[in-house]
Amino acid sequence: MEIIGKVKEILQLQKFESGFKKRELVITTDEPYPQNILIEFIQDKVGLLDIIKLQDKVKVFFNIKGREWKTPDGVIKYFNSIQGWKIDVILNSNLSNKKEISSQSSLSSDDFDDLPF
């Protein structure tokens, strides 16, 4: 799947004791009712955000992940996450003309098997 929007926020890298790394990006979609979408990049994909700047127009390729969690009280809850695996800069905020920059890496099944929960 993919989504296009303008970069609103790039959050700081989060590192956990288990070795898990995560960095999040917020983009605002360009539609009649704009949405602010949080997309997480995990493990080696966190580096894809290094070339991204605020206000860049980007196309983010992502997977939607869902999981079930049972609370200590026995209540079952469901969580979804949007995990980015590739990002292309469509329009760099520092340039007045259109410039395409690709930030790619290969995907493997290991990229999504190391969640901390």
CATH number of the domain enclosing 39:
2.40.50.140
- Within a domain: residue 109? no
- Within a domain: residue 94? yes
User: Which pLDDT belongs to residue 111?
Assistant: 52
- Within a domain: residue 80? yes
User: Which pLDDT belongs to residue 94?
Assistant: 74
- Within a domain: residue 113? no
User: Which pLDDT belongs to residue 92?
Assistant: 86
User: Which pLDDT belongs to residue 101?
Assistant: 46
- Within a domain: residue 111? no
- Within a domain: residue 97? yes
Kindly write down the DSSP assignment for every residue of the chain, as one continuous string. Answer: -EEEEEEEEEPPPEE-TTS-EEEEEEEEE-SSS--EEEEEEEGGGGGGGGG--TT-EEEEEEEEEEEEEE-TTS-EEEEEEEEEEEEEEEE-TT-SS---EEE-----GGGGS----
Q: How many domains does the chain have?
A: 1
Parent domain of 41: 2-102
Q: What is the pTM of this model?
A: 0.76
User: Which pLDDT belongs to residue 74?
Assistant: 96
Per-residue confidence of the chain (117 residues) as pLDDT tens digits? 999 999 999 999 999 999 999 999 999 999 999 999 999 999 999 999 999 999 999 999 999 999 999 999 999 999 999 999 999 999 887 765 444 444 444 454 455 555 555
